[in-house]
Amino acid sequence: MTMLTDSDNFGGRVADEGPREHCGVFAVYGVDNAAMTIYNGLFALQHRGQEGAGMVVSDGKSLRFCKGMGLVSEVFTGDFTEHLPGRTGIGHVRYSTTGASRSCNVQPFLAECRDGMWAIAHNGNLVNATELRDRYQKQGAIFQTTTDSEILLHQLADPAFFGAQDRIRKALVELRGSFAFVIARPNCIYAARDPWGIRPLSIGTLGKGYVVASETCALQQIGAKYLRDVNPGELVKLDDNGVKSLRFGDVPNSGYGQCVFEHIYFARPDSRVFGQSVYSVRTAIGSKLAQEHPVAADVVVPIPDSGVLAALGYAHTSGIPFEMGFIRNHYVGRTFIMPSQRSRKSSVDLKLAVVPEAVSGKRVVLVDDSIIRGTTIQRRIEMMRSAGATEVHVRISCPPTRHPCYYGIDFPEADELVATGRTVEQICRLCRADSVGYLSLDGLRSVLNQPQHFCLGCFTGGYACSAEHTVNKHALERNGDGGMAERHHRHDVLMS
């Protein structure tokens, strides 16, 4: 068998499994003790980003913030709520898809314009960020971060937009790519979603107030009632008058572009995303996978946590017993979310341990959500064999990932993807599996409501949103280190 070596590993990069993900946003309006509610909401969204967290809270007059590097529980400590009084605010958990892992890039971003304070938080990737940033820098604008998200603040302060009646809408029209924004003013909240609807964003009610969240699991966490999704191309205003809908973009001719990886991998199983239960979609995917790629085996074993539901569906349909052959160390963290290949390599082997009693002497069906770079699945197979598994058959709950994503998933280069330029048989040999089976495109479409509304570009190369601009994670950095001094905001409070 051929081993996947450093020379096979795309320029010597250390590989990891799973697409690394984007961010989570959360907002409240008219809710008592907004800071604690935001904390609880962000805690529910922690799976969407573990690099940094922050919140901005308004007492009706001033915006105050607290943010820093680390987990929600590490950033917001002690009596932080006493420093953030108010009933309105926004929050963010970060994984850096654009901009380095630096404290200055932790959101929300806060700025004072001629008409007072504005704060923004963003999930997604703006593919025309470099073009817009260059335009503002040529006009003398000074950027404080190296993320694409800051561009919206410069648009809101731009004299070309400032006097416009539809100021926010006119700014949003210029943005290309994926975005779910929440925007805080002293007396209201705005929420916006790009015209393709690439990233999810939901609205709920909590008492007489309102909540906005990247996923409905955050609404459940705080006892809010789901109201509806923010529609693609919609700007929603939340204030004492209720929910006001403002359109800024029509559905593109190419149609919606909802990210299918939200269902395959990103979202928490107890969420409803794009109108469907994530739990139901993932178990249905596993069932379809069993129909498409049956195999004689003794146990079905998931790679936790992202492979569990697909493995459960596979087991139910195939009749092969489900076993937790891997135990995850939850204190290691999610390696795909770690910002550097070095940090992922150092923790990936600590992440899972095999249960020999579950797999020894058995033929194993090993189920995972995706194979991105290839070496982690190889290590998992080796662990199975070392524990006594006689055969290891890999089943993947999505089609081969052969193309880059420019809209908020951090695998932008085709040469990082093991499936690019390789057949399934070649991938099988590289990973040292007995067999590899991927879910087909038709199989994936069959479990989705309105599959024509999903972007499948990472599988097919055909993107719903035009990709004439491309942005990688460090596109806005300067001189290799960002070109700016590190700004430490952790636990600081800003008064307007």
Rounded distance, CA 343 to CA 338, Å? 6
What is the 3-class SS of the chain, one letter each residue? CCCCCCCCCCCCCCCCCCCCCCCEEEEEECCCCHHHHHHHHHHHCHHHCCCEEEEEEECCCCEEEEEEECCHHHHCCCCHHHHCCCCEEEEEEECCCCCCCCHHHCCCEEEEECCEEEEEEEEEEECCHHHHHHHHHHCCCCCCCCCCCCHHHHHHHCHHHHCCCCHHHHHHHCCCEEEEEEEEECCEEEEEECCCCCCCCEEEEECCEEEEECCHHHHHHCCCEEEEECCCCEEEEEECCEEEEEECCCCCCCCCCEECHHHHHHCCCCCEECCEEHHHHHHHHHHHHHHHCCCCCCEEEECCCCCHHHHHHHHHHHCCCECCCEEECCCCCCHHHCCCHHHHHHHHHHHEEECHHHHCCCEEEEEECCCCCCHHHHHHHHHHHHCCCCEEEEEECCCCCCCCCCCCCCCCCHHHCCCCCCCHHHHHHHHCCCEEEECCHHHHHHCCCCHHHEECHHHHCCCCCCCCCCCCCCCCCCCCCCCCCCCCCCCCCCCC
Rounded distance, CA 145 to CA 106, Å? 9
Residue 465 catalytic?
Answer: no
Rounded distance, CA 261 to CA 104, Å? 28
* Catalytic-labelled residue, pool 23, 455, 458, 465: 23
For residue 82, give every residue at least 6 positions away whose Cβ sits within 8 Å of its Cβ, in sequence order, or none. Answer: none
For residue 128, give every residue at least 6 positions away whose Cβ sits within 8 Å of its Cβ, in sequence order, or none. Answer: 174, 175, 176, 177, 469
Rounded distance, CA 436 to CA 438, Å? 7
Cβ(67)–Cβ(109) under 8 Å?
no
User: 425: which 2 tokens?
Assistant: 């048989």
For residue 241, give every residue at least 6 positions away whose Cβ sits within 8 Å of its Cβ, in sequence order, or none. Answer: none
- Catalytic residue numbers, as ranges: 23
